Amino acid sequence: MIIFLLLPFGSLVNSAGGILAAAADPRTESAIIMSFYCALLATIFAFVLGIPFAYLFTRYEFRGKKLIDSLIDLPIIIPHNAAGLALIAIFSSSSLIGGFLGHFGLSFVDTIFGIVIAMAFVSAPFMVRSAQEAFTSIDPKMEYVARSLGASRFRVFTEVTFPSGLKGILTGCIMTWARAISEFGAVLYLAYYPMTAPVYLDYVYTSQGLQAALPITGLLLILAVIALIVFRLLTDKPVKLFR
């Protein structure tokens, strides 16, 4: 299994000579920066909507809860090109929602907004699931005690629940960002421009061939390894809160 998982890194050997040139190419730099920036915005978007949803989902019972729980994982299951087409149907200027948002200057086809929406759609389940696991692991009695001492629900969440689940939430943020930055299918269909790193890599491969694409592939693999190391360092150490 280890050998199988490490096989793609053989492309680093084949492309070692061109990785530095690829890193210095302004088009490659622009695509990578675009991926990092839009993935960060998608993570913030998923955080703002996903954390409150996960908390309410773990603390309250309501009709249809099991159905909603199943739907959370839908973006992971469906083919991502199908997700891209579905997003076009919803957010294009000719659709009801896209047309309405267009009156406020929000356009999603071939814009940064479209990239962020596509990234957030496919990566939000990682935020929700990590937050759910974090909140489930917290003893509700801690919240009951805080409420009995006069704290409001909001204060209990911000000073008891959220800090207690912060490590799991941080894991969700990193996983969401990592998944968003690697998204290709949904972004390709909804927002081909401005190009993200995966879309630009596909463009180079289809227009110039494998040898031209390998240095960019090697560069992306190196960045992925660095991101993985940072992820492990952040999640393995205990989170300290400064009050």
CB-based contact 144:14 (threshold 8 Å): no
Which pLDDT does position 146 carry in this prediction? 86
In a domain, 74, yes or no: no
Structure tokens, 160: 């008891």
End-to-end CA distance of the chain: 45
The domain of 93 spans 32-59+79-236
Which pLDDT does position 240 carry in this prediction? 53
Residue 124 neighbours by CB distance under 10 Å? 25
In a domain, 115, yes or no: yes
CB-based contact 186:118 (threshold 8 Å): yes
In a domain, 144, yes or no: yes
In a domain, 4, yes or no: no
Structure tokens, 94: 């000719």
CB-based contact 47:173 (threshold 8 Å): yes
CA–centroid distance for 95 within its chain = 25
Q: Look up the CATH number of the domain holding residue 166.
A: 1.10.3720.10
Which pLDDT does position 87 carry in this prediction? 93
3-state helix, strand, coil in the chain (%, to 5): 80, 0, 20
pLDDT in tens, 184-220: 999 999 999 899 999 999 999 999 988 888 888 888 8
Q: Compute the distance between CA of residue 130 and CA of residue 181 in angstroms, rounded to an integer.
A: 18
Nearest CA to 184 out of 80, 40, 44 is that of 80
In a domain, 180, yes or no: yes
Q: Compute the distance between CA of residue 232 and CA of residue 228 in angstroms, rounded to an integer.
A: 6
In a domain, 142, yes or no: yes
pLDDT in tens, 135-179: 998 888 888 888 888 888 888 888 888 888 888 899 899 999 989
Whose structure tokens read 């990092």? 36
Number of domains in the chain: 1
- Evaluate the omega torsion of the peptide bond into residue 194 and state whether it is cis, within 30 degrees of 0: yes
Q: How much is the pTM?
A: 0.87
In a domain, 65, yes or no: no
> Is a pLDDT exceeding 70 seen at residue 243?
no
In a domain, 214, yes or no: yes
